[in-house]
Structure 1
């Protein structure tokens, strides 16, 4: 889905990723575009009864909007991701105990990951949301404990790194964009940047 308030205008050299995430920066480098990265500090508290898909789009929009005000001549990329189990958001665990609990709750079940991206300059913006389903294997407490000890993904929603050892936790990943699960859906991001005028294939 692409939405905009204005027709596309020519891209400028300035491109800023509204994030301090090293995962998103590493992904964006694959597009061979010059960019800077800058944190956009916003309140990420979910609203009461807010659907997860709406939450991530609101936060991606909010991050882009903050930096669009700081850098009005630059194109800004805002992104956010959340995992949902039974329709409820799973946050970043923060501690090993929370990671073990989160993985135990996900074991043998399907978890949806919503990853939103917004590309904005001034009042013009383009948006997309990727939905990826991760199907977890049935996991024992011992298997979960071993994973958390080897690869404590405490800063990742869902408590795993799919690009690392976390791949051993799954039965399947159902996605249209394998980069989305890492934190930035590059297929959608490239499409939005092309719409904004960037010289991508």
Structure 2
């Protein structure tokens, strides 16, 4: 009998990505404080939060296989979170123009019943174009990416902001590295095919 699979996330982007696996799953809010710890590097923050999210939901559903994920935009070691509004998104994109960022995308899979726990990181190198203020404004009005780390949606018009994307897990930039997720689900005993 296959265990219940739960995505520990309220992100519609992660839910859409999970649907690609054609695997029945439920969604549960992890209710984890996402505040960075003092001096915490973006990579460490993403890894910690992915694992904390999976563990938080696994405590409530110990028989389930739980997936947690987190993404932090890393600008020269500084974590950039979700902007939340137009003014912050505009400020983020102005800082990022002409820069190379690493989107630190972490995923963790936890099942308390069999003491399974794995996590992995799928860093994505993203080069932003040297954008004008007018281009930034037009983009923000068109897409309103206020719920995305780094204020840009590469799966939409945000692709026009970029010079290059370098990743070995193509869905990592959207928020859930499916190659790594599938690998960990198989290791946890979930049959994907």
Query: With structure 2 as the length reference, what TM-score do the two structures score?
Result: 0.96
Match for residue 179 of structure 1?
Answer: 171
> Does the 8 A contact of 1:64 with 1:78 survive in 2?
yes
Task: Tell me which stretches of 4 or more aligned residues in structure 1 moved more than 3 Å.
Answer: none
Please show how residues 161-172 of structure 1 align to structure 2 within 5 Å: 161-172=153-164
Deviations 1:127-183 (A, max 9, x none): 110000110011110111111111110000110110000000000001111200101
Does residue 129 of structure 2 align to residue 129 of structure 1? Answer: no
- SS in structure 2 of the partner of residue 31 of structure 1: coil
Match for residue 44 of structure 1?
Answer: 34
* In 1: Cα distance, 2:165 partner to 2:23 partner: 29
> Does the 8 A contact of 1:12 with 1:73 survive in 2?
no
Q: How many residues align?
A: 191
Query: With structure 1 as the length reference, what TM-score do the two structures score?
Result: 0.93
RMSD value, Cα: 1.0
Q: Give ranges in structure 1 of 5+ residues lacking alignment.
A: 1-10
Match for residue 5 of structure 1?
Answer: none
- SS in structure 1 of the partner of residue 17 of structure 2: helix
* In 2: Cα distance, 1:171 partner to 1:198 partner: 37
Q: Give ranges in structure 2 of 5+ residues lacking alignment.
A: none
Does residue 76 of structure 2 align to residue 86 of structure 1? Answer: yes
> Does the 8 A contact of 2:3 with 2:63 survive in 1?
no
* In 2: Cα distance, 1:33 partner to 1:126 partner: 19
